[in-house]
Structure 1
Amino acid sequence: MPLPFLTADGVFDAHEDEALPHADPERWRRPYRPGPWRVAGAAVLLLVSAFMLLATVIIAFAGTWGGAAVAGTASLTVIGCALRILRTGVWVSPAGLRRVGFFGTRSIAWNEIDAVRTVQQPVRWLGLPRTVQGQALTVAGPGGAELPVLLTDHSADFLARGEAFDRAAGRVEAWAREYRAVPA
């Protein structure tokens, strides 16, 4: 059964050989699928929120409306966290590059980027403080200023999926090659 919300607009499956397969180039899009660790984490949070919503209904039937409001707010917060986890990653458009994190988003115009390259360096394992040797897709700004790491092969999207990391890094680099030369 196809799950279109897990694909990057569903266009990358049909056009694997093209560097920039997109139907509407003006939209922000993620050039890779969310990884199994990210999807599993979001699924666990949604499962927890389902139990929290059930508890909210039970509390409401018991007649304690204040407690039901608190439980409902907490369950909606967990749902929002699950959706934000699924949204995090690198997004591209003709306007630039966007790194969506859990707590914040940073957009960089293509004309502010000097180079996008894959390097070997210590990377964080699943976003935790522990570091391991791995690959990272980095962006260099004007004058060689290093910007935050975009993708790593040990993130929730690419852990134990080296080929998927290589494809995603190649796609982001293809977007950079195509749009960096075009003035924004």
Structure 2
Amino acid sequence: MDETAARPLRADAERSMRAILEGAERVLSVDPGASMEQIAAAAGVARTTIHRRFASRQALIETLALDAARQLARAVDDGRPDTAPAQVALHRITVNVLEVKGAWAFALGLPAEPGSEAAALHEDLGRRCITVLERARADKLIDEAADLEWVRRVYYALLGESLHGGADDADVDTDTLAARIVDTLLHGAGPRA
């Protein structure tokens, strides 16, 4: 990441940085090979503004991935994974994650560089997911013999499938999708007693 991006930014610089990252997400999600010029146009800023902030296209992409990982971490935090009742936390986190992943699909689809802050955030999110699942198991929402790493992977798959679902899900709000995910995770597709 460029050194200037590590320092706190003035409000106008922060707005321009946000516009650049949002423009980059929009353009790169359609054309991963898009140029800095195309990103600048989508962000509504001069090409020189991008070049002042980022030494290279790769630096921009790394910043984009880190920013998206930070947003995902905040989304999980907002779900109060350590204090809300487990099922409430799971639902709220699911809503938040669907919103962030829906808005930042390109950035969150990038592999995090090993040892990077983004990689550390993703690893921490995996651990925090297991913690919520442990709390759900303690509340008897998940079978005590369940392999929680497998449950986490199934949960992630349900999130991914919900985000990449067909046209039938296009108009379904994130709260409804989250309810479907949590219900499927906790109850499967079998008949209810």
Q: Please give the TM-score of this superposition, normalised by the length of structure 2.
A: 0.22
Q: Please give the TM-score of this superposition, normalised by the length of structure 1.
A: 0.23
More helix by share: 2
